[in-house]
Every structure is written in C-alpha cells, then in structure tokens.
C-alpha cells in the first residue's frame, strides 16, 4: 500500500517537473512535446485525423479550382458573345448613313419618272454623290488625288499609257476610276492612264 502511494508521489513529482519544464519551453519545443505526447496515443487515430484534415483541404482546393474554371468559362463565353455582337453590328452607323443616300436616290428616281426634267435628275444624282462622299469622309475614307501627279504603283494601277507632249513621262493624265484610302491603308488603287513621251 505504501509502495502505491510512493509511486503516485513520484508520478506527481514527475508531472510537476514536466509542467515546469513545459512552461520554460519555446514554441518549437512545445510542438515537439505535443507530437511526442500524440505519438504515445493511438497511432491509428492520429493517422485518421491527419487523413481527414488532408481530405478536407483537398476537397476545399478542388472546389476552388472548379469555381475558378467555371468563372473562366463564363468569362470566355461573355467575350465571345460580345465579339459576335460587335461583328454583327459594326457597320450599323454606315448602314444608317447609306439609308439617307438611298432615300435621295429614290427621290431622284421619282422625279425622273414623274417629270422628264433632266436638270432635276442631275441635281438629284449630284446630291447623292455628295452624300456618298460625306459618308465616306465620316468613316475616314478619302479619295486619292491622282490627276497630274507622278505615277505611284503603291496607289495607282496603270491601265494605259498615252503619248503626249503636254506632260513629262510617268504622270497620271486621266483617272478612269478613283482610288480610296481608309485612314492610311489602301482600299482600292486608282485606275489611271499614264503619260508616255512621244517618239
């Protein structure tokens, strides 16, 4: 009986010493002591707890990945829809301006059908031509000034050469079809007749 009380006194003293040592330990040392104490417990329970913790972290990471992938897919679909809409309606403002030109053309045709007055038809066609030039200008498209300028293969397409004394060789003397620039990019070269020295 006395042996039991001695053992328990020894255990009590040992525990008190351990507690005092714990208080003086650093955080790292406390972690080591806790790990050692955990190892003294059932190792299967410890492994199960760690497995559950790992599974929870894995599940959380997987959920975050799925959400990020869904967000990315939604953003891609929104961008595609916006681009499709942009392509569809990119020319809307030009179409609206062309409708004005169409209206003027219809008026000119009505005048030519109801009255045989050439002057009014010419005025109507002239008005339409001016509207088209204005429309092109509003959309940064301008004609290439070619007449009496040196031939430039970057902007002119020579259809004919004509012998002449009036101009030096290699000058545009007639314009068969106007060329146009969109900003600074060539949309269509001017079809021209170029001067050639008489033999």
How many angstroms separate the CA atoms of 106 and 124, rounded? 9
Q: Note whether residue 190 is domain-resident.
A: yes
Co-location of 149 and 116 in the same domain: no
Residue 116's pLDDT is 60
What is the domain range of residue 10? 2-68
Co-location of 101 and 125 in the same domain: yes
Count of structural domains, the chain:
3
Nearest to 151 by CA among 185, 187, 195: 195
pTM of the model: 0.49
Residue 161's pLDDT is 92
Instruction: Check which CATH number belongs to the domain holding 152 and give it.
Output: 2.30.22.10
Co-location of 58 and 95 in the same domain: no
Q: Note whether residue 56 is domain-resident.
A: yes
Residue 87's pLDDT is 77
How many angstroms separate the CA atoms of 88 and 116, rounded? 42
Co-location of 41 and 62 in the same domain: yes
CB proximity list for 166: less than 8 A, separation 6 or greater: 173, 195
> End of a domain among 139, 158, 179?
139
The residue written with tokens 């170029």 in the block is 194
Co-location of 113 and 126 in the same domain: yes
Give φ, ψ of 112 to 5 degrees: -70, -30
Co-location of 154 and 107 in the same domain: no
Residue 1's pLDDT is 43
Co-location of 178 and 189 in the same domain: yes
Co-location of 190 and 163 in the same domain: yes
Q: Note whether residue 105 is domain-resident.
A: yes
Q: CA distances (Å), 12 to each of 8, 86, 142, in order? A: 6, 82, 102
Q: Note whether residue 117 is domain-resident.
A: yes
CA 143, 148, 152, 156 torsion-angle sign: positive
pLDDT digits (tens), the chain, 199 positions: 444 445 567 777 777 766 666 555 555 555 555 555 555 567 787 888 888 899 999 999 999 999 999 999 999 999 999 898 887 777 777 777 777 777 777 777 676 655 566 777 777 788 888 888 888 888 888 889 999 999 999 999 999 999 888 889 999 999 998 888 888 888 889 999 999 887 6
Co-location of 149 and 176 in the same domain: yes
DSSP-assigned beta bridge partners for residue 185: 182
Co-location of 148 and 173 in the same domain: yes
């Amino acid at each position: 009986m006395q042996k039991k009380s001695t053992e328990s006194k020894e255990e009590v003293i040992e525990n008190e010493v351990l507690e005092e040592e714990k208080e003086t330990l650093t955080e790292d040392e406390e972690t080591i002591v806790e790990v050692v104490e955990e190892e003294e417990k059932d190792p299967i329970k410890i492994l199960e707890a760690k497995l559950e913790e790992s599974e929870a972290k894995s599940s959380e990471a997987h959920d975050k990945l799925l959400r990020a992938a869904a967000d990315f897919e939604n953003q891609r679909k929104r961008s595609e829809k916006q681009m499709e809409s942009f392509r569809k309606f990119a020319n809307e403002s030009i179409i609206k301006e062309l409708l004005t030109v169409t209206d003027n053309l219809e008026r000119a045709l009505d005048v030519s059908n109801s009255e045989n007055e050439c002057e009014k038809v010419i005025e109507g066609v002239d008005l339409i031509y001016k509207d088209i030039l204005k429309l092109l200008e509003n959309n940064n498209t301008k004609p290439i000034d070619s007449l009496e300028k040196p031939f430039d293969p970057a902007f002119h397409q020579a259809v004919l050469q004509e012998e002449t004394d009036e101009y030096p060789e290699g000058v545009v003397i007639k314009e068969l079809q106007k060329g146009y620039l969109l900003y600074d990019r060539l949309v269509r070269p001017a079809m021209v007749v170029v001067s050639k020295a008489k033999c």
